[in-house]
Structures are given as C-alpha cells and as structure tokens.
A = this chain, B = another copy of it.
Amino acid sequence: MPGTRSSRTLLRQEVVEGIKRYILRERLRPGDPLPAEPALCEALGASRSSVREAIKILDALDIVDVRHGHGTYVGRLSLSALVESLTFRGLLSPGDDFQVLADLVDVRELFERGMAERIVSSLSDEQLDTLDSLVQTMRETGADEGSGFVAADRAFHALLIAPVGNDLIGQLSMAFWDVYTIVAPHLDGFTHADELSTISAHQSLVDAARAEDTTAFLKALEEHYAPVRRRVTEARARDDAAS
C-alpha cells in the first residue's frame, strides 16, 4: 500500500541525500552520467515521483543537470541558485529594491577593493591589453547597442577578478554582477554622462593596474562605484517622494 511511511523525514529529502552520497561515493565529476530514473527508484527504494522531485531540487542547486532525451548528469556546481534566489529577493523587496541594490553594490566594491593589491600585482600584460580592448568596445558600442556594452562590462569585471586565483570570489563577483543587472533596470537613471564616466573609470582601473599603483586603483574603484551608488540613492529618494 502506497504512502506508508512516517520516518519523520520526507522521503524525497532522503532521496536527495542518497543521490548526493552516490555522487560522492562513486567519485563522479561534473558532466558524469547518473543512473536513469528507474534505476534510482530501485536503488533508493522510492517511487518515480519522489525521485523526480528530489532530482528537481538537486537541479535547482546545479548539483545535477537534467537533459531531456539524454539523461541526468552531475551538474557544474555553479552559483546559479544564488543568482536566482537573490534576484527574486531583489524583485520582492517591500517596495524597496533599493536597499538590496545598495547592498549589492557594496559587496561588489568590497570584493574588488579587498583584492586590489592582488589584482594589480597579478594581471599580465596580455590581460591588461584585453582589458584595454574591452574598454574600447564599451566606447564604440554606445548605450544604443546596450547588449554589447553590458557584455563588455561583465567581461571586464570578470577578467579583473580572475587573476587573483580564487574561483569562489570570481564566481561570486559575477553572480552579484548578474543579479545587479537583472534587478537594476527598475531605477532607470543611466544618462549619457553616466556612461562616459563609467568608461573613464574603467580606463583608470586599467591604467592603475598597468602602473601597479594600488592607491590609484582604489581611487579608480571609488570613481567607478560612486556614480552607481548615487543612482541607487537618487532612485530611492524619487520613490520615497512618490509614495
């Protein structure tokens, strides 16, 4: 008779742990295939429904990657769940997305400030050249061709934080960048002057890094994030006035 169990812990949660244990025990790596659903059902003693719900949970955490028609594989363990989660938090906020955005900017700046020394000391010449070319790309693709601009901005910050050799910080940094760009459009205060100052700040960052001048790099960081912070503050004030 179905449904007969009451072990205080949800079956699907046991299945989740079971699948995680399986991956660990078999020393699987991202991309490796997992047994098919029926096999997991038998191995874990659960119906297909429970196994599927467990897999969906693991999929949401990018611990598992399900491909329709192919099978189920070990996931890449990215921080996609963090992005999803924070994005929704930003969208949900009381009516005050602004605090979330301000916090986000704080964290992004914190990462780059905290890594400033390691950044300027470990960027190679080729990497600096690449950064230069990205700034050039931002100059060429105006706000009209927005997608190119934001892509260049993302690549810039990714490359900036990459050479410190801390994957976690790199991925977190990009996750926060992603969340910011998804949530930020709500505040629409990005003028042409802002764009120019942003580009100029990026150029200052590259120049400071090339000169291995940490102080100048920190100054450029402030030059970069101050306008962002100002836009958030202005949007908040505008919203407060409206309500």
Contact = CB atoms under 8 A, between A and B. Distances in A.
A66 to B, nearest CB: 9
A61 B49 contact: no
Contacts of A113: 114
Nearest to A52: B53
A12 B56 contact: yes
A68 B103 CA distance: 34
A88 B59 CA distance: 13
Interface string A98-140: 0110111011001101110000000000000000000000000
B94 A85 contact: no
B62 A169 contact: no
Contacts of A77: 85, 88-89, 92
Contacts of A43: none
Nearest to A95: B27
A77 B20 CA distance: 23
A161 to B, nearest CB: 11
A36 interface: no
Contacts of A24: 91-92
Contacts of A111: 110
Q: What copy number does this chain have within its complex?
A: 2
Interface string A68-97: 100000000101011011101101101000
Contacts of A63: 84-85, 88
Contacts of A29: 92, 94
Contacts of A7: none
Given A68-B10, A103-B168, A172-B107, A60 B88 contact: no
29 contacts: A10-B68, A12-B56, A20-B88, A24-B91, A29-B92, A29-B94, A49-B49, A52-B53, A53-B53, A53-B56, A56-B60, A57-B57, A57-B59, A57-B60, A60-B60, A60-B61, A62-B85, A77-B88, A77-B89, A77-B92, A81-B84, A99-B167, A103-B167, A103-B169, A104-B168, A106-B168, A106-B169, A107-B172, A114-B114
- Which 7 residue pairs spanning A and B have beta carbons closest together? A103-B168, A81-B81, A60-B60, A110-B114, A57-B60, A77-B89, A53-B56
